[in-house]
Amino acid sequence: MQAIYEYNTSKKRDVDIAMKNMLHSFDDMYLLYIRIVSLFSALTNTAEQVIELKKRKYLPTETDLYPNLKFINNILIKKIEENRSLQRYIDEYKIGWNNDVDLLFVRKLYDLISNEDFFIAYMSDQDNSFQDNSFEEDKDLVLDILEKFMLENEEMIHYFGEIKLNWLHDFNDVIILVYNTLKLFTRNQNNEKPLPPLFKIKKSGESEDIYFVKELFVKTIQNDEQYTEIVSRKIQNWETERIACIDFILIKMAICEFCEFPSIPLRVTLNEYIEISKYYSTPKSRYFINGLLDSILVTLKNENKINKQGRGLMG
């Protein structure tokens, strides 16, 4: 959707360049994924530095001298830090949390997280000695940080968006990807086990997801005039120019899926584009898109332009 929007608003429309930019944005998305996975190690390093600074106070308290080490001993975070695949990505792309700006941001995040109720409850639970943390409890904390603190965190979204504009839009999706990755970590996980790729790769060749992305992008653009005509016939006495730009793109993409992708069920397509419109278009867009696509679908069926096969016949 974003790539088609950028193509439509570009002064020089070049499908190949637009395709290249779109695929590059996926690479950027994976870099953000690596950055956030590696953030947990940066947080425990910051916590350790805070503890050391408190020990050096002129009049340290007993708590300063004998601090709670539960967070810095978090087993899952240590497993993340020891993952060889993660370290290779960090070294290759130089995306560790090392510069002064990043470290200031990590310190700010740590201060905020340490005041969250779920973090305080975690640190207050003394059932396990600090040298023998419970893996499941440690994992729950990491997942809580992702779900209850990082997801939809405006400060983090703004920070990453300043680094790469695409990250502004990708942030919440990446948080969910990180959550799903770390949820599958086990205490005995091999440190050589690679982090999952953004798209599943088939042994036979190109990822099915990447193929779908390319085909949807190109075919939506190639059939633009045809899809515009289909929409125009359905909005009598109302110029197509009055349709919100994003709504029009989503409608055309949905028509493309109806007609060009036999394995995708019709209901899946309808639900997906209505859902996307909730995040990227106007408050009433979902109702408009839903009603218009329902009407268009009836016409396409009557004109025998829809040929679903296999799993595409479901729903």
List pLDDT tens digits, range 219-236: 999 999 999 999 999 887
% of residues, the chain, pLDDT over 90: 76
Its pTM stands at 0.86
For residue range 98-132, what is the model confidence (pLDDT) as tens digits?
A: 899 999 999 999 999 999 999 999 999 765 444 45
Do 110 and 163 lie in one domain? The reply is yes
Per-residue pLDDT at 130: 44
Do 38 and 117 lie in one domain? The reply is yes
Per-residue pLDDT at 128: 44
Residue 196 lies in a domain: no
% of residues, the chain, pLDDT over 70: 94
Do 132 and 178 lie in one domain? The reply is yes
87-94 average pLDDT score: 93
Per-residue pLDDT at 280: 87
Give pairs for 246-250: CB < 8 Å, separation 24+.
246/1, 246/5, 246/277, 246/280, 246/281, 246/285, 247/277, 247/281, 247/282, 247/285, 247/288, 247/289, 249/1, 249/4, 249/5, 249/8, 249/220, 250/1, 250/276, 250/277, 250/280, 250/281, 250/289
Per-residue pLDDT at 238: 65
Do 83 and 217 lie in one domain? The reply is no
Do 168 and 305 lie in one domain? The reply is no
For residue range 151-188, what is the model confidence (pLDDT) as tens digits?
A: 999 999 999 999 999 999 899 999 999 999 999 999 99
Residue 173: domain span: 26-183
Confidence grade of residue 36 (pLDDT, cut at 50, 70, 90): very high
Nearest one of 252, 258, 257, 305 to 277, comparing CA atoms: 252
Beta bridge partners of 205: 202
Burial pattern 237-263, b for ≥16 Cβ within 10 A else e, equals eeeeeebbebbbbbbbbbbbbbbbbee
Please give the mean pLDDT across all residues of the chain. Answer: 91
CA angle 246, 280, 169 (to 5 degrees): 120
Residue 102 lies in a domain: yes
